[in-house]
Amino acid sequence: QVQLQESGPGLVQPSQTLSLTCSVSGVSITNGIYYWSWIRQYPERGLEWIGYVYYGGRAYLNPSLKSRLSMSMDTSKNQFSLRLSSVTAADTAVYYCARLVATTFPFYVDSWGQGTLVSVSS
């Protein structure tokens, strides 16, 4: 049974960089049938896919965020991370890490972390 757990600061100042880490247990993030994703949920409930990364370090990022976004993996710790720069209040959301099943295309999310609220405010 896979478990995903987000960690990181709950408050980020405007114009700063938001950094989150997802710790994965129950499966290795180097397992080639899974990709590792970030998704955020706005206060008004809407969900937005942020991007995903897979073993080998390649990342696919939401074009609307690509200029401010980077994602990486730390296989030694079985973790993957998100960095979003130049944040504004519009980036306030609950951030989820999630597992994408990539055995066949198109991929889909089958497991989610509990989510972590990140507020952008001074």
Partner 1 sequence: QSVLTQPPSASGFPGQRVTISCSGSTSNIGRNFVYWYQQLAGAAPKLLLHRNDERPSGVPDRFSGSKSGTSASLVISGLQSEDESLYFCASWDDILTGPMFGGGTKLTVL
Whichever of 53 and 76 has its CB closer to partner 1, that residue is: 53
Among 15, 48, 72, 74, indicate the residue that binds partner 1 (CB under 8 A).
48
53 lies in the binding site for partner 1 (CB under 8 A): no
Among 19, 31, 62, 70, indicate the residue that binds partner 1 (CB under 8 A).
62
60 lies in the binding site for partner 1 (CB under 8 A): yes
106 lies in the binding site for partner 1 (CB under 8 A): yes
* Distance separating alpha carbons of residues 9 and 25, to the nearest angstrom: 21
Distances in whole angstroms, Cα of residue 89 to Cα of each of 11, 21, 63, 95: 11, 21, 19, 14
Query: What end-to-end distance do the CA atoms of the chain give, in Å?
Result: 39
Contacts of 36 (CB under 8 A, 6+ apart): 22, 24, 29, 52, 53, 54, 73, 80, 97, 98, 99, 100
Q: Are strands 34-41 and 47-53 parallel, antiparallel or unpaired?
A: antiparallel
55 lies in the binding site for partner 1 (CB under 8 A): no
The residue type at 107 = F
Among 11, 33, 47, 117, indicate the residue that binds partner 1 (CB under 8 A).
47
Among 24, 39, 53, 87, indicate the residue that binds partner 1 (CB under 8 A).
39
Instruction: Give the residues lining the site for partner 1 (CB under 8 A).
Output: 37, 39, 42, 44-49, 51-52, 60, 62-63, 96, 100, 105-115
